[in-house]
Amino acid sequence: MARKEIAKILITGPFNAGKTTLIRHISDEQSSGKDVQATDALAQFKGMTTVGLDFGILHVDDTLDVHLFGTPGQSRFNFMWRILSKGALGTIFLIDSSSQRAIDEGKGMFQYYRERSDDPIIIGATKRDEPGAKAIDVLVQELNVGDTTVIPCDPRKVEDSKTLVLSLLQAIIDAQTGGVADDDDYDDLMDLE
């Protein structure tokens, strides 16, 4: 029996951005992602948090599975970010655009990834409906992410989660083929019905 091919996608970003939710929506099987009561200073912001890692499997066909790895958001797990990012096709970086704390932390986190990998990365700006959510252009500036694609999204909506992953996949394809996504490509991705 032929060995099944495995592709890996990393979902990362600071604390409380929606990583666990996104993985839930995209996976056929979710093997981890145990939420526990937050016990540290962040508990005031979020009651439950992920420990270890989130892990989901999406079965593509008989010969290919996608492994979705979600990193813990807290900076104390930073040693795991490097471990988890190895061998990934690309990375989705989620950030709570309504939280200055998340943006401040996300800036360093994003640079950490960028410095260690040339693999495609896209940013999903979440919590757009929260008071104080930053405009995308402000977010780009504050995160200092250059021309990295930033997509407003709500991971609680399946279609938004799909759009994020599809955008990343398109970026991976473009990176390999030398193509550049144009507006039509983006519209195609958004037109999921």
Partner 1 sequence: MADRELISFKHFGLFRKTVAMKRTGVLVYITHLGFAGRIPFTKGQLVNSLDPIQLKHFFTSAMQESYWEGQPQTLEEGQDTVAVLAGLLEPLEWNEPFCHGLSHMLCKLPIVEVKAIPVQFEDYHLEICAGLLHRQALASSLFKPQQFLDNVSNSKTLKARLKIMLLAYVSGLMNAKKEDQRQTKKNKTSGRGKSSLANRILQRIKGIGS
For residue 50, what are its two tokens?
A: 């992920």
Which 71-90 residues touch partner 1, going by CB under 8 A? Answer: 76, 79-80, 82-84, 86-87, 89
Given 13, 14, 18, 33, the residue binding partner 1 (CB under 8 A): 33
Write down the least CB distance from residue 55 to partner 1, Å.
6
| Closest residue by Cα to residue 128 from 105, 87, 156 | 156
Q: Which of residues 104-163 bind partner 1 (CB under 8 A)?
A: 116, 158-159, 162
Measured from the CB atom, the residue of 130 and 159 that comes closer to partner 1 is: 159
Contact between 192 and partner 1 per CB under 8 A: yes
* Window of 6-14, 95-103, 127-135, 146-154 that interacts with partner 1 by CB under 8 A: 6-14
Stretch of residues binding partner 1 (CB under 8 A), selected from 25-33, 99-107, 131-139, 146-154: 25-33
Write the binding mask 35 to 54 for partner 1: x where contact by CB under 8 A, - elsewhere.
-x--xx----------xxx-
Three-state SS letters, the chain: CCCCEEEEEEEECCCCCCHHHHHHHHCCEECCCCEEECCCHHHHCCCEEECCCEEEEEEEECCEEEEEEECCCCHHHHHHHHHHHCCCCEEEEEEECCCHHHHHHHHHHHHHHHHHCCCCEEEEEECCCCCCCCCHHHHHHHHCCCCCCEEECCCCCHHHHHHHHHHHHHHHHHHHHCCCCCHHHHHHHHCCC
> What is the closest distance, in whole angstroms, from the C-beta atom of residue 21 to partner 1 in the complex?
14
Quote the least distance from Cβ 137 to partner 1, whole Å. 28
189 vs 193: CA distance, rounded Å? 10
The residues binding partner 1 (CB under 8 A) are: 5-8, 25-26, 29-34, 36, 39-40, 51-53, 55, 58-61, 64, 66-67, 69, 76, 79-80, 82-84, 86-87, 89, 116, 158-159, 162, 165-166, 169-170, 172-173, 175-177, 192-193
